[in-house]
Chains A and B, each alone.
Chain A
Amino acid sequence: MIAETGHFALILALVTALVQFALPLYGAHRGERALMGAAAPAALAQFSLIVIAFLALMHAYVTTDFSLANVWENSHSAKPLLYKISGVWGNHEGSMVLWVLILALFGSGVALFGGNLPLELKSRVLAIQGSIGAAFLLFIVATSNPFLRLNPPPIEGNGLNPLLQDPALAFHPPFLYAGYVGLSISFSFAIAALIDGKVDAAWARWVRPWTLAAWMFLTIGIAMGSWWAYYELGWGGFWFWDPVENASFMPWLVAAALLHSAIVVEKRNALKIWTILLAILAFSLSLIGTFLVRSGVLTSVHAFAVDPARGVFILMILCVFIGGALTLFAWRAPMLKAGGLFAPMSREGGLVVNNLLLCTACAAVFIGTLYPLALETINGDKISVGPPYFNFTFGLIMLPLLLLVPAGPLLTWKRAEAWPVIQRLWMAALATFAIAMVILVATRRGPWLAPFGIALGFWLVLGALAELAERIALFKSSFPVSWSRLKGLPRSSLGMTFAHAGLGLAVIGIFAVTTWREEHIVAMKPGDHLSVAGYDVTFLGEAPMTGPNYTGDAGRFRVMAGNREVATLASEKRRFQPGGQETTEVGLLQAWSGDLYAVMGDRMNDGTRAMRIYFNPLISLIWLGTFIMFMGGVISLTDRRFRVGAPKTARRLQPAAAE
């Protein structure tokens, strides 16, 4: 009964989304307030219905109800509870339900907190949001329905892909989806402005926080995916320029650009048309990402949907929304009024440079990801565009951007001078130079890239701190004065410092790992030892083991530093029931200086095991950096300028209207 209620709620949500699209759009077109009033309740109803459907599906997973074909295909009675829950979105159908759930959540956010939006704008935004929801709900109901039943039901299920049975991966999709879907709000705002032919002042105030939220979630979602690939796949790396990774990285880059251009719209009313285009592009890339990973075009753990009907359906959604949006843009954008003026050398100008570089970098990734696919479709040639291409092109474009980041926040609005900026950054520049020299001298024979790359990271961190010190007049006035200035600083400014410094930390980590990493692939038998980055690693032997739904072998390693035992690491090879799929558990010793990473490989003919042992220096800085970037977003979101009130007349009139 719960399952059937969920099914009905899902279908009702589809119908409600259609109404949410049609009534308010028609109302806004005719200028009828009453019809526009349907938008907010429809958005809330749609969200509530999807919540019901999602909880019903989760109930079926938790109680292991194999009368749902979806549960039978993707769950197993012996699975731990956490993975029964995360199994809801660990498959195609359920993950699409999560997708529309988050979409509807964001839509109801606009409905609830959009009191300071003109009704026309709010209605159109919700109508566009409704149309996206309707398209994906139709996709689910027609091609990927998780509520189809089996009668009689089987007694045992097929189980969740063991690779996905992992805590980081349990939460990676919700965050990533929150990011993808958050960009739908910016998209809806852009389309609403285009339909309207007018960019309301409130428009600019709304686009940025939503973009910021989406960007934050994308950041943490990508970091979780990367972290999972790092310790679960056992390849020892954290980023492979895999098309699936790129699919999430491209929206992140454009969202980062949008985030910055939205500041200009918000504060200076300039760059409006460009921002609208970016908003369309950011969400389009999210859709393309969804298509790439879900259509089976790419083979990966994400490619749940190999059914061609689904691929074609998503492709149609893609064409309608992206094509429609760009057509609308070409038609309506010239009608929009340009905003505030600024000189090329100004904060606005700096943000334009940021945008151009981020978009170019995204284009480089886009070409590297899609060119092989396009070529294969056209003439069947299979080519592989690998990390060297990406590292070179992407790195080359990002280099000037990263060099300029510390200067940007020191530029003044409208018109700026170069000299004051140089004056305020020379200390940071000097310190950066010193760090590069120290590294160069200390490592001497090491890869030449290391000192420069790491110094670049330090430049970002020190530049961000220098800007902060300048704002609070640190060392120029007494400490209490600085402290009170720090407290008085706008949250968005503080958030920016965090985000830029976090980026710097991540850059340090990325360069340290890629240039200094140690890698050993050796055959070991119990008792053998190996010295890695100052650790002495001894293979103690292996023992069979049994988990809740797997059996396997656990290899144990003793790690000594000097004469002291630091840790005992265990690397496991697991064979999951049912199916007998094998996974590897990495033995990981984390420290600030770097991670010792041990993987037990296959048994060799002579009784030894092939071991892969890595040392990844400073890799924690990558995760720490991304987390600090995320926190920067959180701090920025609490800024007071996002709390613009509704017009006073509205407050006066609303009680009257309700009577």
Chain B
Amino acid sequence: MLNFLIFAVLAAGVVLGVCWPVLKGSTAGPRRADYDEVVFRDQLAELERDRARGLIAEAEAKAARNEIARRLIAADRDSPAAGARASGRWAAVAAAAFIPISALALYLALGAPGQPDMPLRERLANAVANNDVQALMARAEAHLAEKPDDLRGWEVVAPIYRSAERYADAARAYQNILRLKGPDAGTYADLGEMLVIANAGLVPKEAAQAFAEALRLDARSPKARFYAGLALKQDGKRAEALTLWQGLLADTGPDDSWRGVLEAQIASLSPGAPVLSDEQVAAAQSMTGEDRENMIRGMVDGLEERLKSAPADLEGWQRLIKARAVLGEIDKARAAYGRAREQFKADTAAMAALSQAAKELGIE
């Protein structure tokens, strides 16, 4: 608000300063010839000085004097009377409106009204009060650069790095925690996880070592087991990965946060899972329309088969219903919808999602 008050004062100052003289309007003043005359008289005086200093010869000085005198007379003769009309008021009024309106319109289009100044020092000092994560991090980093052996500091910044998606920095923080605290299964697993995410989801060698270390310290560590399975899967050892993950699933309670991810991964390894490899995609692109439809139908059938053996997959059901509807097999879509409702009848959230999807597809 204060901002707009200042803007108003500025704009009012300009409008008053520029338009007021026009509206008040002085109409009389010296003629242009009067100005010329002052200069010509000064030129005459200067000519006299130059003559005295020998910069111009006597005869030329005389000729020059005549030239100036002629100009003086001509100026006096040519000079029109100074204008005294005052019909320019409308122009001043237009300017008085134009100045604030166009300035404000431009400012509102380009500016960030209300955004305060954010000097660095103040941000660092009030980081906590402002909940300024960047500033908090900068402070913590400065502190850790000075005291790299502060275990507590590393423990604080590691998860913040993680949520700020600075995974390499997070990995560095976990390495420091390990250095200061000694080996610990959870920290090793976290370190490995950060290395994996920093590496675009592929498990690098250092990460695999970290998971191995974590499992050596705690063979039941869910995170380490999960990523160890991922490493196996990425190595093409699908059966071993499946065994490992199914073991993990058995130890996983229904409320554990990783359950969904784990089930999806297991589903992706289950026989008949519609995994589209690059070859399949390429093949689909080179197919005729009919072949492509057959391939898609085959995949959808595969999905249905899979849901029979592992029915606790809401997303899978939704995909199936949608696929059937899109393929025009409305009866099969309705049937799948019915079975899904049966499966999730105890789960109100899932029921709501299913009925929402059914409404959108027009099968309910």
Contacts and interface: CB of A to CB of B under 8 A. Distances in A.
A154 interface: yes
A619 to B, nearest CB: 37
Interface string A313-339: 000000000000000000000000000
A148 B112 CA distance: 8
A477 interface: no
Given A33-B83, A64-B121, A267-B43, A202 B36 contact: yes
Interface of A: 1-5, 7-9, 11-12, 14-16, 18-20, 22-23, 26-27, 30-35, 37-38, 41-42, 44-45, 49, 52, 59-60, 63-67, 77, 116-121, 141, 145, 147-149, 151-156, 200-202, 204-205, 267-269, 340-341, 347, 412-415, 471, 490, 641, 644-650, 653-654, 656-658
B19 interface: yes
> Which 3 interchain pairs have the tightest Cβ spacing?
A31-B83, A34-B25, A63-B119
B46 A26 contact: no
Interface stretch (B88-96, B171-179, B257-265, B351-359): B88-96
B39 A205 contact: yes
Given A38-B19, A340-B64, 11 more contacts: A12-B7, A14-B106, A16-B99, A19-B18, A34-B23, A35-B92, A201-B35, A341-B67, A471-B53, A647-B38, A650-B29
Q: For the complex, would chain A's binding face be called helix, strand, loop or mixed by DSSP majority?
A: helix
B110 A148 contact: yes
A352 B55 CA distance: 18
25 contacts: A8-B10, A11-B110, A12-B103, A14-B103, A16-B18, A19-B98, A19-B99, A23-B95, A32-B83, A32-B86, A34-B21, A34-B23, A35-B91, A41-B18, A45-B13, A45-B18, A60-B117, A63-B121, A117-B35, A118-B35, A141-B106, A147-B111, A201-B36, A201-B71, A653-B30
A64 B111 contact: no
Contact of B38 (A4, A34, A41, A116): A116
Contacts of B138: 155-156
A33 B25 contact: yes
Contacts of B10: 5, 8-9, 12, 49, 52
A644 B38 contact: yes
A11 B110 CA distance: 10
Contacts of A9: 10
A27 B11 CA distance: 23
A641 B41 CA distance: 11
Contacts of A35: 22, 88, 91-92
A8 B7 contact: yes
Interface residues of B, number: 85
B28 A33 contact: yes
Given A33-B25, A63-B121, A23 B64 contact: no
B34 interface: yes
Given A32-B87, A34-B27, A119-B29, A41 B99 contact: no
B50 interface: yes
Given A30-B88, A650-B30, A644 B39 contact: yes
B137 interface: yes
Q: Which of B21, B63, B98, B102 has the most CB of A within 10 A?
A: B21
A87 to B, nearest CB: 14
A45 B17 CA distance: 7
Interface string B98-131: 1100110011001111111111111100000000
Q: Which of B30, B71, B84 has the most CB of A within 10 A?
A: B30
A155 B121 contact: no
A7 B107 contact: yes
A414 B62 CA distance: 11
B37 interface: yes
A412 B88 contact: no
B26 interface: yes
B134 interface: yes
Contact of B28 (A205, A347, A646, A657): A657
Given A201-B36, A647-B34, A653 B28 contact: yes
A593 to B, nearest CB: 40
A657 B26 contact: yes
A650 to B, nearest CB: 4
B85 interface: yes
Contacts of B149: none
Nearest to B134: A155
B32 interface: yes
A67 B119 CA distance: 8
B82 A31 contact: yes
B75 interface: yes
B14 A16 contact: yes
Interface string B297-321: 0000000000000000000000000
Contacts of B26: 33-34, 37, 657-658
Contact of A269 (B50, B67, B116): B67
A66 B39 contact: no
B191 interface: no
B120 to A, nearest CB: 4
B3 A1 contact: yes
A614 B10 CA distance: 57
A119 to B, nearest CB: 6
B295 to A, nearest CB: 47
A11 B98 CA distance: 13
